[in-house]
Amino acid sequence: MAEQRESYRVWQMDLKSAVAQLNQIFNLIANRLDQLEGLRGIPTVYTDQVEYPGLSISGQFAAGADGQSASFQNVIYLDNQGLFLKDTDGSHYLILKPGSNLTENRTLTITTGDANRTITLSGSTELADWFNQSVKSNASPTFSAITLNNTGLHLLDTNASHDLIIAPGSDLTADRTLTLTTGDSARTITLSGNPTLDDWFDQAVKIASSPTFAAITLGNTGLHILDTNASHDLIIVPGSDLTADRNLTLTTGDAARTITLSGDPTLDDWFDQGVKTTSSPSFAGLPIVGGATDHTTIEADGTIEFNGAATVWNDANVGGMTLGGPSATLPDEVKFTDEAGGDTGIYSWGFAVGEKVTGAIEIPHSYKEGSDITFHVHWQGNDAPTDTDNVQWQLVYTVAQNGQTLDAATTITIETGYDTQYEWVTSAFAAITGTNFNMGDQFLFELSRIAASADEYAGDAVISTVGFHYEQDTVGSRQITTK
């Protein structure tokens, strides 16, 4: 109680002193107003000051230029001990004072707007500790990091009516980083509902990945597939407006397949009839097997044609004993002999040097017109050779064509070695050019044995058949007299 009485006594003394000071100020004001009454029309300023320990109150008086008005202002000056403001329980003071030597009078302005404001300071800070850039509402400040409480980062929407709030949705055990990599381009993330990454991804979807999807929907720019050197795209896209979802099914079977398109075909370009396994389609021509050059074709009338490498070889032969000639040069009739030297009882012509026969063979209807033919002789030697002996054949031929006269005959030869008794041998002449040959032409010939160049075989050369090999491109001819 004694301390409270002492405080009360001191407070009473301070109050009496303050009242006395105010009385002095009021008297000063009254005196100065009386003086100003006599100075009308002369702008004049007078200043008086009343001192009080730690306090200076100045009264400033100004006479107006019209001589009819005057103004008075009070200014309170404090020394560097500062302005003492008691705290909320009156136990201590908050002291406001300059912290440095000023080179001239400075003004500290605190603008609260029309509302109560609170400045909360922690530690001894300077504005430079807080700000090195503008942080006004219209500024775009940059920070090394910013920490917000769990109410999140608030971003105004497009018309500034609501906030998009970005906030963690779980309790983290350590600081975590959410990185959004846009590349050097603007990006947009569109969310519908409350998805998680597990809702979107259960596999890698990087460029190097090979993801699998139940279905995928693309815009009408289509499905882009890089070509073999990754320079251009093959784009698969619908070419019309569909009235409902449609399926394009490609069934390859269990094998790799290739679709090769030339031009812009439609199914109508390919199909005007059923071509299923149970169908009986008709075609103007049908390549059965092979490529554009090498294939077999069934033509509209059913004719089978072999093209390119699909052609085959055939024989046009006649039996040796069917051949004839002048008796003076005909070979002897000789029997074929088996491998043990036994007589088979089968006869044919046995040629000695200088003997000959003549004959003719029609070029078959299956012949590929204009192709070469190869004349040949099948024969056997009954006598033992001395080592490797030689038999030389000569063919004189010409070709008769319907409605044409004969060309001069041509002579060719072939020499064949013979080294094994009873062996069967084929002597094939060089190919005969058939550029002008047609099916149905008559191949007329004389076949003779002539002297060998050396080591003549002493025995007879017994022929079985003679004729020519020819290239065949059809089974027969389309017409009786024309290919």
Can you tell me the distance from the alpha carbon of 362 to that of 135, in angstroms, rounded to the nearest whole number?
Answer: 111
Q: In the prediction, which pLDDT does 18 show?
A: 53
Question: What are 299's strand-pairing partners?
Answer: 285
Contact assessment for residue 385 and residue 457, using Cβ atoms and an 8 Å cutoff: yes
| Owner of token pair 């070029």 | 363
Structural tokens at position 450: 């002539």
Distance CA 106, CA 60 (A): 20
Averages of pLDDT over runs of 10 residues in the chain (483 residues) are: 48 52 56 49 46 50 52 64 84 87 90 88 70 84 88 91 92 92 91 79 87 88 91 91 92 91 81 85 72 85 89 96 96 96 96 98 97 98 96 98 96 98 98 97 98 97 98 94 92
Q: What CA–CA distance (Å, rounded) separates 470 from 372?
A: 7
The Cα–Cα gap between 290 and 255 comes to: 19
For residues 96 and 102, the answer to whether their CB atoms sit within 8 Å is: no
- Name the phi and psi angles at 450, rounded to 5: -120, 170
Contacts of 432 (CB under 8 A, 6+ apart): 372, 373, 374, 375, 397, 410, 412, 468
Out of 3.40.50.300, 2.60.120.260, 2.40.128.50, 3.30.420.40, select the CATH number for domain 312-472.
Answer: 2.60.120.260
Q: What is the pLDDT of residue 42?
A: 42
Q: Give dist(CA 330, CA 321) in Å, integer.
A: 11
According to the model, what pLDDT value does residue 36 have? 46
How far, CA to CA in Å, does 482 sit from each of 8, 331, 361, 362, 479? 149, 38, 18, 14, 5
- Which residue carries 């109680």 as its tokens? 1
- Cα 440 to Cα 357: distance, rounded to the nearest angstrom: 22
* Six token digits for residue 388: 């490797």
Q: What pLDDT is recorded for position 44? A: 47
Tokens 């597939």 correspond to what residue? 225
Place of tokens 């000063």: 28
Query: Tokens in use for 64?
Result: 């107006």
User: Can you list the alpha helix ranges (DSSP code H) found in 140-225?
Assistant: 197-200
Q: What angle do CA 54, 58, 59 make, to 5 degrees?
A: 155
Q: What is the DSSP letter of 342?
A: -
What pLDDT was estimated at residue 22? 56
CA 398/CA 408 separation, integer angstroms: 7
Q: Tokens representing 386?
A: 């001395």
Give the gyration radius of the chain's Cα atoms: 63
Q: Taking the CB of residue 456, how many other CB atoms lie within 10 A of it?
A: 13
Residue recorded with tokens 């001395």:
386
Helix (H, G, I), strand (E, B) or coil at 199: helix
239-266 in b/e form (b: 16+ CB < 10 A) is eeeeeeeeeeeeeeeeeeeeeeeeeeee
Give the SS3 label for residue 135. Answer: coil
Task: Return the half-sphere exposure (C-beta side, CA atoms, 13 A cut-off) of residue 481.
Answer: 3
- How many other β-carbons are positioned within 10 Å of the β-carbon of residue 314? 14
Q: Which residues of 423-436 are buried (b: 16+ CB within 10 A; e: fewer)?
A: eebebebeebebee
Distance CA 441, CA 362 (A): 6
Sheet arrangement for strand 44-52: 44-52, 55-63, 70-78
Residue for token digits 């922690």? 122
User: Which pLDDT value is given to residue 143?
Assistant: 86
Tokens of 232: 């251009």
Question: To 10 degrees, the CA torsion angle through 119, 122, 128, 130?
Answer: -80
